[in-house]
Amino acid sequence: MTPAARVQSAIDLLDQIIHAAREGGAAADTIASRFFKERRYAGSGDRRAIRELAWAAIRRFGKMPETGRSAMVALADEDAALAALFTGASNAPEPISGGEPRADGSVMPKWLLPHLDARVGGRGGNAAELAALLARAPLDLRINPMRADGVDLPDGEPLPAPLNGLRLPGDTPVLQTGAYLYGAIEVQDAGSQWVSWACDVRPGQTVIDLCAGAGGKTLAIAAAMRGQGRLIACDSDRRRLQQLPPRVERAGAEGIETRLLNPGDEWDSLSDLERAADLVLVDAPCSGSGTWRRNPEARWRLTPARLARLVEQQSRLLDLAARLVRPGGTLVYAVCAITSAEGPQQLDAFLQRRNGWQVRDPLGALQPPVGRAAGRGRLLTPGHDATDGFFIGCLQAG
């Protein structure tokens, strides 16, 4: 493909991503995979260039552009080499006219800035933190101790102790390596690994992962439990929970139960576990604002109304989890988000509703501490901690 044809393809891809974001459709990565499957003529270099152009536009505009062309034209206004490719020749985008629409706005939706932690957004925002929040993410791996002995692991930078993982460039292909296929490594951001570490589980305990999804943190917890105890992975999304059993088999994990929950009536499937768990992890549904470096188009999907619904759901799940923790047990609340309402304010509201809970801070006790204090929890950000953005709160039942 010519450079100009790649630009036109990036515009076409952006149109599909914008439409999906507007209609609540598939994520940008899924859209891109389908897009390239339908265009077998595009070689690997073409696909890489098209994707980089499209993602440059997504990262640049916090407000959703009207069209892919309006976003690409706005980028071309700042890049003469890109503008020169709008020639109207075969497979090239039409020439740019001075009066045609351009995407505009900053990298972050204006309505959202006051909701972000002040060290990231707040009043005016922190330029370095915002840039890190939208920069390309590396590829982090968790080493599975149950499978790693004698296996050739990928070359990478070790993650900070006490984590047991590696960091590689973001485009490193690992899913077909022997280490991955054997289950010696799992793709997992260091922030998620810190959540699992903060759970501080022990063999023989009863542990509930209340919002397990596809089970990334469940598997990390299982490795720490070494097949001893009871581990229950729960979720209300059947499709995501069905991804866990094959991952369990590949990882060589044992003794993981799964429970599909009915949204809004979760207690019907959990009442037998009342006050029985040594630990309950609530990795709650959230805005995903901590993952924007991986999914920058998610900024276009978040609205004030959706944020309010998520905060309400998180509050309900925390109250549900509290009924499952035994006296002296631990509740870990985590969201991959950097909004104050989903993090410190959520934890404060829980402690105001419920007496007898004590705050723990395992990440703050490390030397050096991981993350920064945020109310009565810890905040991890890409700029400060080189992880996805996370809020983590640890509570002990009286």
Q: Cite the active site residues.
A: 336
Strand order of the sheet with strand 165-168? 157-158, 165-168, 139-143, 185-187
CA–CA separation, 56 and 134 (whole Å): 10
β 206-209/230-235 pair status: parallel
Q: Which amino acid is present at 136?
A: R
Of the candidates 391, 168, 138, the one whose C-alpha atom is nearest the C-alpha of residue 289 is 391
Identify the H or E element spanning 219. Answer: helix 216-225
Spatial neighbors of 261 by CB under 8 A, at least 6 apart, are: 234, 235, 236, 269, 270
Structure tokens at 195: 């959540």
- Within 13 Å and on the Cβ side, how many CA atoms surround 296? 25
Structure tokens at 158: 């070790």
CA–CA separation, 299 and 57 (whole Å): 13
CA terminus-to-terminus distance, the chain: 65
Residue 236 region, left (φ>0) first, then alpha (ψ -120 to 50), else beta?
A: alpha
Structure tokens at 38: 């339908």
**297 within 8 A of 28, measured Cβ to Cβ:** yes
Spatial neighbors of 131 by CB under 8 A, at least 6 apart, are: 383
Question: What is the DSSP code string of 355-382?
Answer: SSEEEE-TTTTSSSPSSEEETTEEEE-H
**393 within 8 A of 359, measured Cβ to Cβ:** yes
Q: Exposed, middle or buried by CB within 10 Å (0-12, 13-18, 19+), for 204? A: exposed
Secondary structure of residue 329 in the 3-state scheme: strand
Structure tokens at 68: 């892919």
**242 within 8 A of 253, measured Cβ to Cβ:** no
